[in-house]
């Protein structure tokens, strides 16, 4: 999120809560804290917050953190597949060594 988008967030808070002041210090801090967040997701969370709460939000109240994809299940399935292939290969290797003409 860029500083212009943060300013829109702060102005929205100011419009909803008369005691919330938009200052340069607040703009700098909020810009730093919201920099890696998606503007639309934060704005949607802010609008929901405004509908439900009588006091201005903190940064934590409207933060939207992206969750990282959990690779564990994919790695586990790959491990199972590779293990099954290895076991099948070993089984076939043992069967070949037991041919009657050898």
The per-residue pLDDT string of the chain (102 residues; one tens digit each, 9 = 90 and over) reads: 999 999 999 999 999 999 999 999 999 999 999 999 999 999 999 999 999 999 999 999 999 987 777 788 888 899 899 888 888 888 777 766 665 555
Radius of gyration of the chain (CA): 28
Q: Is residue 47 included in any domain, yes or no? A: yes
C-alpha 70 chain-centroid distance: 11
Q: Can you give the residue range of the structural domain that contains 37?
A: 3-62
Q: What is the pLDDT of residue 97?
A: 61
Q: What is the count of structural domains for the chain?
A: 1
What CA–CA distance (Å, rounded) separates 37 from 65? Answer: 7
Q: Is residue 68 included in any domain, yes or no? A: no
Q: Is residue 8 included in any domain, yes or no? A: yes
Q: Is residue 24 included in any domain, yes or no? A: yes
CATH number at residue 55: 1.10.8.200
What CA–CA distance (Å, rounded) separates 29 from 20? Answer: 15
């Amino acid at each position: 999120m860029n500083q212009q988008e943060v300013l829109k967030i702060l102005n929205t808070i100011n419009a909803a809560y008369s005691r919330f002041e938009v200052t340069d210090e607040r703009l700098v801090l909020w810009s730093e804290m919201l920099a890696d967040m998606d503007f639309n997701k934060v704005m949607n969370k802010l609008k929901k917050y405004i509908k439900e709460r009588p006091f201005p939000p903190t940064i934590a109240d409207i933060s939207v953190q992206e969750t990282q994809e959990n690779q564990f299940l994919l790695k586990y399935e790959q491990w199972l597949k590779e293990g099954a292939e290895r076991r099948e290969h070993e089984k076939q290797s043992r069967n070949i060594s037991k041919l009657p003409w050898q």
